[in-house]
Chains A and B, each alone.
Chain A
Amino acid sequence: MPKQQANWSPYDNNGGTCVAIAGADYCVIAADTRMSTGYSILTRDYSKIIQLADKSVMASSGFQADVRALQKVLAARHLLYQHQHNKQMSCPAMAQLLSNTLYFKRFFPYYSFNVLGGLDSEGKCKGKGCVFTYDAVGSYERVGYSAQGSGATLITPFLDNQLKSPSPLLLPAKDAVTPLSEIEAIDLVKTCFASATERDIYTGDKVEMLVLNASGIRQEFMELRKD
């Protein structure tokens, strides 16, 4: 009998888009609230964002069952850290933990496309925004901004145009936090989602935005197209 291909997949894609932008003293993380499967909508009101520590927030798109499982693992590990070290995990520490957790399942990955955002709390970078971007198996990099999910291919070129230095050959690559103000960054994020919603069928309904700065965390919602 010739080798049979599996016709059952353990994965499903629930769609959605996540974006994060780091500023000089703030960080914006946003994700749409639509959860879908195939051509149907499961719910219009699903949060893809979770606060892992007081200065670390993660947004994940992809297969939400795997995302939930990943969130639980990270929350449990953070609690252990707090018991052992008597302090909250810093954002760079959480970034490393997330990477290790994802690689741990290298051969049966979490189908989860993550962006981690927060405020740096060590040394002279204290209070600076930081964004880390991941692939499904834990490869990560600290960046100034990132988009993941079904609308990422639509949003990233726009952010590159607005936020990136023209060429990495002209300007040496350094801490690429954007010089934009918090208000301007939020305006940019809203435009990104409104535009992605026009052209991506999996993005829409509402966008949930979390802003971290020195005074704490603020949550904002904006309506998007529901078709």
Chain B
Amino acid sequence: MTRFEESAPVKGGFSFDLCKRNEMLVQKGLKPSSYLKTGTTIVGLVFRDGVILGADTRATEGPIVADKNCEKIHYMAPNIYCCGAGTAADTEAVTDMVSSQLKLHRFHTGRDSRVVTALTLLKSHLFSYQGHVSAALVLGGVDVTGPHLHTIYPHGSTDTLPFATMGSGSLAAMAIFESKYREGLTRDEGVKLVAEAISSGIFNDLGSGSNVDVCVITKGNREYLRNYMLPNLRTYVSEKGYSFSKKTEVLMTKITPLRELVEVNEGGDAMEE
């Protein structure tokens, strides 16, 4: 008597059935398709009246800049924003998803969202995907319990910090924070420090670049300062300009008349048979 082994249908999540096949293909020489990584500098810090988030605006695909001015500071709630580093699709998807969940929760409870709610939703999602959702986040906001700043790693662990940096430029930015951060910064001092940390990432890390985005969140108010600094304008524009008049050259023209295959019977009793 043969024994049947039935595997239960997988409900949601990733199916790892094709992993062996993929490994075999890679051994045979197939190059896996690349995905857009943001190779990034993102930072956050807590100041006197709330939190300030900062990010660069370069999105890379390997050594090529795919987007020179992308937005890495994502909206979660009116009082909560989240910076994302890692795979661009993952950071977009996970922040959009949790943002929707928070909105539904606000309708359900009739209260403003809390940062720890966003934190728990994000970390449990990322943990359940065991690090395959490559999103490294800096979550910050101000709620009834006060200002909060957290970092979230792709595998689902979190830290609560007074200042934080993530992404390929995190070391360059952290060097600035560790030298100059102190408690009780004013708004202007805080924004200046965040801009300095992001600039450090932009100029010293090749994965980060272009402009500085800043978001200041205080009790009852937030300022999204898109392109707060533009330190990287194009250095040379030719005065005379360039024309691209050379079209694809026509080497040969040949016209082939189509032959009619179907004979059409004009009139006659074709239908009456």
A interface vs B, CB < 8 Å? 36, 39-41, 150, 161-162, 166-167, 169-170, 187, 190-191, 193-194, 197-202, 222-227
Q: Can you list, as one digit per residue, whether each of B223-253 has a CB less than 8 Å from chain A (1) or not (0)?
A: 0000000011111111010101010010100
Nearest 3 interchain pairs by C-beta: A227-B209, A194-B236, A201-B206
- CA–CA, A187 to B39, complex, Å? 32
B70 beta carbon closer than 8 Å to chain A: no
Q: Are B249 and A200 in contact (CB under 8 A)?
A: no
Evaluate whether A187 and B65 lie within 8 angstroms (CB atoms) in the complex, with A194-B234, A227-B202 already known.
Answer: no
Evaluate whether A167 and B238 lie within 8 angstroms (CB atoms) in the complex, with A39-B39, A199-B65, A227-B209 already known.
Answer: no
B interface residues, tally (CB under 8 Å): 31
B60 beta carbon closer than 8 Å to chain A: yes
B204 beta carbon closer than 8 Å to chain A: yes
Residues of A within 8 A of B30 (CB): none
Q: Which A residue sits closest to B205, measured CB to CB?
A: A39
- CA–CA, A225 to B65, complex, Å? 13
Q: Are B235 and A194 in contact (CB under 8 A)?
A: yes
Evaluate whether A191 and B251 lie within 8 angstroms (CB atoms) in the complex, with A36-B206, A39-B39 already known.
Answer: no
B148 beta carbon closer than 8 Å to chain A: no
Q: Which A residue sits closest to B208, measured CB to CB?
A: A227
Shortest distance from the beta carbon of A216 to any chain B beta carbon, whole Å: 25
Residues of B within 8 A of A41 (CB): 204, 206
Q: Interface SS of chain A: helix, strand, loop or mixed?
A: mixed
Q: Say which residue of B204, B232, B251 sits within 8 Å of A225 (CB atoms).
A: B232
Residues of B within 8 A of A200 (CB): 63-65
Residues of B within 8 A of A191 (CB): 236, 238, 242
Q: Are B63 and A202 in contact (CB under 8 A)?
A: yes
- CA–CA, A197 to B203, complex, Å? 13
- CA–CA, A36 to B168, complex, Å? 15
Shortest distance from the beta carbon of A130 to any chain B beta carbon, whole Å: 25
Q: Are A194 and B63 in contact (CB under 8 A)?
A: no
Q: Say which residue of B68, B168, B208, B240 sits within 8 Å of A187 (CB atoms).
A: B240
Q: Are B244 and A39 in contact (CB under 8 A)?
A: no
- CA–CA, A222 to B238, complex, Å? 13
Shortest distance from the beta carbon of B173 to any chain A beta carbon, whole Å: 13
Shortest distance from the beta carbon of A194 to any chain B beta carbon, whole Å: 4
Residues of B within 8 A of A226 (CB): 203, 232
Evaluate whether A161 and B244 lie within 8 angstroms (CB atoms) in the complex, with A170-B251, A191-B236, A201-B63 already known.
Answer: yes
